[in-house]
Structures are given as C-alpha cells and as structure tokens.
C-alpha cells in the first residue's frame, strides 16, 4: 500500500534545494506514477515485493549501539567499524531521500528440511546457500532498476537522479528499512517476515535522491508465539528481536575464522553451513512461496550430501564445486572444520573414524582443523553406535513435518 508523504501534495512542484544539488522538478502525481512503475519494473526484474521507506533510522541507533556494546557482533569487526553510519543512509550516500527496499525469494523446491536434519550422516546446508551467490545477482538487478528510474526521470526533464544499490555486505541496517517499507514485520528471530511470504527471502536496497511516496509498515504478527526462541539449538536469540551472533550457528560456521568454541560443537549437529531452525519452526513460513529463480535451486553435489563425501573434497575440488556460490567464501579449511564437527556428532561409525584419521595425514589441514578432527575422533570413540538427535532437533523435525509438509 502506498501513502503520500507530507511533501508530496498532488501536482505541486517539489523544492528540495536544501537536500539535493538540483531541485527535483517532478510533481507528486509524477512521483506517484513513478512509484507504481518502479513496482512493475521490480516484478519484471524478479523481485517479489518492492516498498519505499524514508531514511530515518534514528529510533534504531540505541538498539544497534547496545548490540555492539554487548559484543554480540563477535569477530565481525565491520559491523562496528562503520559506527552509526549504518543507521544513517544519508551519510552513506549523501543526498539520499528514500530507500527502495526489495525482496527476492530463495526457498528452493524439494527443500527436504526434515529428511536432511533427521539423518545425522548427511550434511545440512542452509537453503539460501545451495545455489548461486545472491549478492552480485541482486546488486545487478537493483542497478538495472536504478537505471530504469534514471531514464524515466530524464524523459520528465530531471537528469540528476542519483542512486546506490546495497545488498547485505554493505553497512546498512537492512531489516529496519524493510520493516519501514512494508516488506514485513520484524520477527522475534529478528528476521523480516510477511504473512503471505514467510521469511525465506533476501533483502536489497536502492538509496535514491527522489522524494518518492512512502509505503506503510505492516502490523507485527508474532503475537504470543515464541517458537523460534525456544527452538534455537544454541539459545542465540537472547531476547525477542535480539540475536547474540557469537552463539548463532550461522556465525559460528560462516563468519568465525578460528576455532569453534567447544560448548557449541555438540549443539551444531549436522549443520555445516548456516542454520535455518528459527525459520523452520515459524508458523508464518507455512505459506512461503518457492523461489522463481532457477539459480537459487540447490546444486547437485549439495543436495542431501553425505558428510563423508564432502569431507573427502580436496581444496581444488572444493573450489570447483563451489564456484559462484556463497559457500566458497569460507574457504576449504573452515569447510573441513565444520564437517569435522558434524562427523563428531554423527553416530559412531568406523568409516567416519577412518575418514578423520586419513584427513589428519593430508597437507591441507592446519592446527585449527586438526584440533577439530581430534575433537571429532574423541566424540566418535566415546559414544554408543546409535546416539539420538538432540531433543531440540527432534522437535524442529516434528514441527517441519507437521507445519511445512511440502518442504519437509
Ligand atoms: C550480521 C548479520 C548476520 C549475523 C547477525 C544476525 C543478527 N540477527 O543480527 C549472523 C551471522 C548471525 C547472521 C545470521 C543470519 N542471517 Co544475516 N545478516 C547480517 C547483516 C549483514 C547485518 C545484520 C545486523 O545489522 N545486525 C545487527 C542488529 C543490531 O541489527 P538488526 O538485527 O537489523 O536489529 C535491529 C532490529 O531488530 C530492530 N528492531 C526492529 N523491531 C524491533 C522490535 C523490538 C522490540 C526491538 C527490541 C528491536 C527491534 O532493532 C535492532 C537494532 O537496530 C544483514 C544484512 C544487513 N546489512 O543488514 C544480514 C541479514 C539480516 N541476514 C540474513 C539472513 C538470511 C541470515 C540467516 C537466515 C542465514 C542463515 N540461514 O544462516 C541467519 C539468521 C539468523 C538470525 N536469526 O538472525 C538476511 C535476512 C533476510 C530477512 N528475511 O530478514 C539479511 C538481511 C541479508 C540479506 N541481504 O538478505 N546474519
Ligand atoms: S540461525 Fe539457528 S542458531 Fe542462529 S538464531 Fe536461528 S535457530 Fe538460532
Ligand atoms: S516463530 Fe513465532 S515468534 Fe518467531 S518469528 Fe515466527 S511467528 Fe514470530
């Protein structure tokens, strides 16, 4: 839904000389029409939802500072290094007046969540990461959207349109912006979710110097539910809407460079890259659409893969198999580190012990990986042949089988 902003009364020329080097000559009616056109272009470019927000994130500055002060960002120093610029889009890209927020769905068909989590000999890879890396693709499409807007404005006599696309890696608070732009509400797991679309989507933004009409945020819909908080394997959701990244499996398996603290290793189970549990138990995801992008479908070697097979990948094979995928970013050593933990968590099996022993002899492991292999060997040697999955994982599996039968 679109609302007119105070500065866009119908058919009145808008003077923004104080914020923009060149006053925007577009009338409110032209901006309204452009706003509708942007949404059509967005659909053509594969975005499932486009919304427009203003650039005021001042109400989130205290929350961001508190999160950083508590050290919840762990080793992600880039989160702290940009300071409050992350909450001030106009400092990131001077002259910006609006943020065009975009959603792209990534849930692949045949996600096989429950079958994957049920079998501890299989590796679980977050479903956002099984296909092509989204960063470049979304940035290119946002750039195309910006180019379309620029061309359109030129035909209306304004040739000073200025925009900058952002996707994930750039230091901007994407979720609060998406919330403001009506893309969804902020769930207690801190992700954005929409009543018709769930939460299996990426976000991207275009900062722009046009006073487009604003969209309206949607009502918060978690109500009394706390399923995500209760099901998080590592209790990383330390309060509603607040994630201590240092405890989150996504951080531990993707962002953390060195050793994974021992207390978390048994809790990680077979999750070797990211984690989806807080989204798997979310009732709002029962209606989530599948991705429209074949590029986000899980690639063959990563569909329900055997841990032992992945552990045998040499570095060059790993680099070939993960070409164009976000997984490549963690490198072969962290790949082995993560799989070693999952092998340690798998039921006792002489083949696993042999694979771990063999890896120890390879020249592709360093002290950090070796330490994880030794941990895994100790786990393998001390457990009974068929140890059960953790109670929390069993609950997540039951919840997926019941709530998300299509994706189970
Ligand atoms: C750092 C980061 C992480 C970290 C930290 C996560 C976190 N919760 O902060 C780690 C590595 C753990 C992580 C994990 C994941 N991430 Co991440 N991550 C980011 C990144 C780069 C920054 C997030 C950030 O700024 N966090 C700091 C906190 C302080 O900011 P915030 O969460 O936005 O918090 C504000 C709001 O919650 C707000 N708020 C709003 N309403 C309310 C209400 C109340 C009452 C309160 C108190 C606060 C509040 O207050 C906070 C303070 O400003 C963003 C991209 C980006 N540039 O924004 C992607 C992003 C958030 N990640 C994303 C994804 C997909 C994931 C994973 C699902 C990946 C996976 N499957 O493994 C998990 C989910 C874990 C989880 N439950 O959050 C998507 C989320 C899409 C969506 N639907 O919302 C993003 C937007 C990337 C993208 N471009 O698509 N991520
Ligand atoms: S991604 Fe996994 S570990 Fe991280 S908050 Fe969600 S359930 Fe917890
Ligand atoms: S699981 Fe429940 S509390 Fe968590 S985000 Fe979904 S609806 Fe909200």
Output the domain CATH number for residue 201: 3.40.109
Residue 208 shares a structural domain with residue 244: no
Residue 191 shares a structural domain with residue 284: no
Atom 2, ligand 3: which residue's CA is nearest? 225
- Contacts with 248 (C-beta within 8 Å, 6 or more apart), sequence order: 232, 234, 236, 275
Query: Does 55 reside within a domain?
Result: yes
Q: Specify the number of domains making up the chain.
A: 2
Residue 285 shares a structural domain with residue 390: yes
Ligand 1 neighbourhood includes 101 CB (under 6 angstroms): no
Query: Does 221 reside within a domain?
Result: no
Residue 245 shares a structural domain with residue 373: yes
Query: Does 123 reside within a domain?
Result: no
Q: Which domain holds residue 163?
A: 2-107+131-215
Q: Which residues are annotated as a binding site for tRNA?
A: 333
Summarised one tens digit per residue, pLDDT across range 23-34 is 788 999 999 999
Q: What DSSP designation does 52 have?
A: E
One DSSP character per residue, 91-108 reads HHSTT--EEEEEEEE-PP
Closest ligand, as measured to the CA of 92: 1
Last residue of a domain, one of 182, 215, 248: 215
Query: Does 354 reside within a domain?
Result: yes
Q: How far apart are CA 27 and CA 239, in angstroms?
A: 45
As annotated, the active-site residues are 168
Residue 37 shares a structural domain with residue 159: yes
Summarised one tens digit per residue, pLDDT across range 311-342 is 999 999 999 999 999 999 999 999 999 999 99
Summarised one tens digit per residue, pLDDT across range 35-76 is 999 999 999 999 999 999 999 999 999 999 999 999 999 999
């Amino acid at each position: 839904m679109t609302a007119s902003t105070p500065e866009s009364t119908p058919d009145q020329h808008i003077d923004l000389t104080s914020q923009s080097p060149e006053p925007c000559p577009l009338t409110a009616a032209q901006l309204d029409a452009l706003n509708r056109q942007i949404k059509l272009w967005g659909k053509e470019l594969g975005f499932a939802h486009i919304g427009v927000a203003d650039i005021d994130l001042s109400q989130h500055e205290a929350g961001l500072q508190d999160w950083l002060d508590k050290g919840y960002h762990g080793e992600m120093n880039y989160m702290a290094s940009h300071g409050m610029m992350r909450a001030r889009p106009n400092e990131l890209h001077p002259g910006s007046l609006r943020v065009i927020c975009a959603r792209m769905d990534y849930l692949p068909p045949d996600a096989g969540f429950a079958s994957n989590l049920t079998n501890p000999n299989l590796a679980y890879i977050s479903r956002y990461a099984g296909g092509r890396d989204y960063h470049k693709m979304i940035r290119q499409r946002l750039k195309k959207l910006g180019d379309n807007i620029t061309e359109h404005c030129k035909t209306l006599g304004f040739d000073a349109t200025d925009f900058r696309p952002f996707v994930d890696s750039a230091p901007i608070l994407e979720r609060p912006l998406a919330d403001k732009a009506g893309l969804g509400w902020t769930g207690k797991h801190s992700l954005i979710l929409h009543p018709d679309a769930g939460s299996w989507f990426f976000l991207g933004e275009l900062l722009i110097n046009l006073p487009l009409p604003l969209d309206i945020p949607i009502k918060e819909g978690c109500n009394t539910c706390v399923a995500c908080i209760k099901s998080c394997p590592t209790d990383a959701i330390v309060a509603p809407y607040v994630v201590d990244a240092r405890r989150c499996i996504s951080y531990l398996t993707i962002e953390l460079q060195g050793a994974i603290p021992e207390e978390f290793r048994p809790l990680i189970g077979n999750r070797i890259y990211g984690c989806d549990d807080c989204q798997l138990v979310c009732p709002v995801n029962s209606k989530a659409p599948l991705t429209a992008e074949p590029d986000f479908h899980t690639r063959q070697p990563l569909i329900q893969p055997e841990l032992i097979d992945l552990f045998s990948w040499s570095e060059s094979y790993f680099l070939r198999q993960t070409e164009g995928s976000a997984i490549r970013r963690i490198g072969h050593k962290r790949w082995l580190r993560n799989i070693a933990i999952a092998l340690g968590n798998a039921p006792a099996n002489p083949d696993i012990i042999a694979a771990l022993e063999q890896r120890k002899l390879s020249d592709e492991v360093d002290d950090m990986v070796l330490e994880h292999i030794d941990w895994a060997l100790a786990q393998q040697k001390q457990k009974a042949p068929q140890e059960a999955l953790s109670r929390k994982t069993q609950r997540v599996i039951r919840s997926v089988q019941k709530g998300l039968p299509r994706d189970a």
